[in-house]
DNA sequence: TTATTAATGGACAAAAAGGTCTTTTAGTTT
DNA sequence: AAACTAAAAGACCTTTTTGTCCATTAATAA
């Protein structure tokens, strides 16, 4: 569904938040291992997440990644827009430039509600809401 | 939503079928122009469609692409599986390997119905059903 | 202050996606 | 048969995605 960057970012951030909720501050080695993603690539992606202001990092011994609790929660939509852009969230399934109720593509009527559901989902859910739902062992967050 | 190959293939095939319904047999130059896709790339993709048995081609003057009316209609699912595989149709939105009702990812409950809708849509709709719905000028099938 | 730890930055590399170009093959028309 | 038309085949190229590697920077601990 999503591209690798989005997937790794999503899993990393949810993992970090999940650990933060237990007063832990994971580092990339741990994160990459737990979410089963390549470590160096995960490090690079998390670097971008830090630059985007989505999460904070602390260097040196005892360092790691930590969310700023005073900031508002991060919606999946914000994350997706930052990693792979709006393509998956807007535009018509048929790839038409001008596709609306008056000038619909052949998929318009069936596809609209699906796209709307996706948009609703990613606007409502946040890294934090997902982390709160993750109460079982995180090791199951294994990529396909 | 879909990758370029799927998009161009979908638009090409719907265009061809739409023209076939009017007893016309378009060639790649015309097809690529109408669906606004790169001609050489469209040619290569249509070549694959021919090899897959989705459509027939005729060489030489008056040639072009034509569907075999005796064959069953081609579902969007068949096309998608041939061009980009099952990734978009199955698997969990979170990228988890083991994600089911007993061991759900944090997105499982909300994402399941969406994925089901997508699967239903692509299983029910065919190149032919889309071509039949395309009763307006085909020029509007312009890529984003 | 020196060693150690852990994130950062940036160059580089491999693979996949997206696309071009030229020659060949197979038909049709004259 | 010769000329013409249009798809097929395949080599090649560009861009994007998905990574790796190593030197640097910043924080902590001894």
Query: Is-contact A37 A143, C-beta < 8 A?
Result: yes
Evaluate whether A6 touches A79 at the Cβ level (below 8 Å). Answer: yes
Do residues A92 and A99 touch, judged by C-beta distance below 8 A? yes
pTM score of the predicted model: 0.92
pLDDT tens by residue, A84-111: 999 889 877 777 767 777 777 888 888 8
DSSP, collapsed to helix, strand or coil, labels residue B65 as strand
Q: Which residue of B has its CA nearest to A131?
A: B106
Q: Over the range B71-83, which residues count as b (16 or more CB within 10 Å of their CB) and which as e?
A: eeebbbbbbbebb
Res B73: pLDDT: 98
Tens digit of pLDDT at every position of chain B (144 positions): 899 999 999 999 999 999 999 999 999 999 999 999 999 999 999 999 999 999 999 999 999 999 999 999 999 999 999 999 998 888 777 777 677 777 778 888 888 899 999 999 999 999 999 999 886 656 545 443
Pairing of strands B56-58, B64-66: antiparallel
Interatomic separation, CA of residue A48 and C1' of nucleotide C3, rounded (Å): 30
Residue scoring higher pLDDT (B54 or A137):
B54
Indicate the residue of B111, B121, B142 with minimum beta-carbon distance to A96.
B142
Facing A111 at nearest CB: one of B10, B111, B121: B121
Fold of B4-136: Arc Repressor Mutant, subunit A (1.10.10)
Q: Is A85 left (phi over 0), alpha (psi -120 to 50) or beta?
A: left
Interface of A with B (CB under 8 A): 1-2, 7, 10-11, 14, 87-88, 91-99, 103, 105-107, 110-111, 113-114, 117-118, 121, 125, 129-131, 133-134, 136, 140-144
Q: Tell me the domain boundaries of chain B.
A: 4-136
Probe site for chain B from A90, A106, A108 (most B CB atoms < 10 A): A106
Question: Which residues in chain A belong to E strands, given as ranges?
Answer: 56-58, 64-66
CATH fold, domain A4-137, is Arc Repressor Mutant, subunit A (1.10.10)
């Amino acid at each position: 569904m999503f591209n690798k960057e989005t997937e790794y970012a999503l899993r990393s951030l949810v993992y970090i938040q999940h650990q933060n909720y237990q007063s832990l501050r994971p580092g990339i080695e741990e994160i990459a291992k737990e979410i089963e993603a390549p470590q160096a690539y995960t490090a690079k992606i998390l670097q971008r997440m830090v630059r985007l202001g989505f999460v904070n990092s602390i260097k040196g011994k005892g360092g790691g990644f930590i969310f700023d609790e005073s900031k508002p929660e991060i919606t999946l939509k914000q994350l997706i827009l930052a990693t792979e852009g709006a393509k998956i969230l807007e535009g018509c399934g048929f790839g038409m430039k001008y596709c609306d109720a008056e000038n619909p593509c052949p998929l318009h009527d069936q596809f609209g509600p699906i796209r709307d559901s996706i948009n609703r989902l990613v606007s409502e859910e946040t890294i934090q809401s997902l982390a709160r739902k993750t109460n079982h062992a995180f090791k199951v967050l294994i990529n396909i």
